[in-house]
Amino acid sequence: MKRRDFLDWLFWISGTTVGAFVLYPVVRYLVPPEMPEAATRRVNAARGDELAPGAFKIFPFGGEPGILIRNPDGSYRAFSAVCTHLGCTVQYRPGERMIWCACHDGFYDLEGRNVSGPPPRPLERYDVHLAGDEVVVEKAQTA
Ligand code: FES
Distance 15 CA to ligand 1 centre (A): 50
Output the pTM of the full model. 0.75
User: Any idea where the domains of the chain sit in the sequence?
Assistant: 1-33, 37-139
Superfamily for domain range 37-139: Rieske [2Fe-2S] iron-sulphur domain (2.102.10.10)
pLDDT at site 35: 66
Ligand 1 within 6 A of CB of 117: yes
**pLDDT-derived band of residue 143, with 50, 70 and 90 as boundaries?**
low
The model's pLDDT over 13-35, given as tens digits with 9 standing for 90+, comes to 999 999 999 999 999 889 877 76
Pocket residue to mutate for ligand 1, from 79, 80, 83, most atoms within 8 A of Cβ: 83
**What is the 89 CA–ligand 1 centroid distance (Å)?**
8
Name the DSSP class of 129.
E
Checking if the pLDDT of 70 tops 90, the result is yes
Instruction: Give me the phi and psi of 133, to 5 degrees please.
Output: -100, 15
State the pLDDT confidence band at 55, using cuts at 50, 70 and 90: very high
The mean pLDDT of 36-44, rounded to a whole number, is 78
Task: Identify which of 64, 82, 86 to mutate to test ligand 1's pocket (most ligand atoms within 8 A of the CB).
Answer: 86
| Cβ neighbours, 10 Å, residue 55 | 13
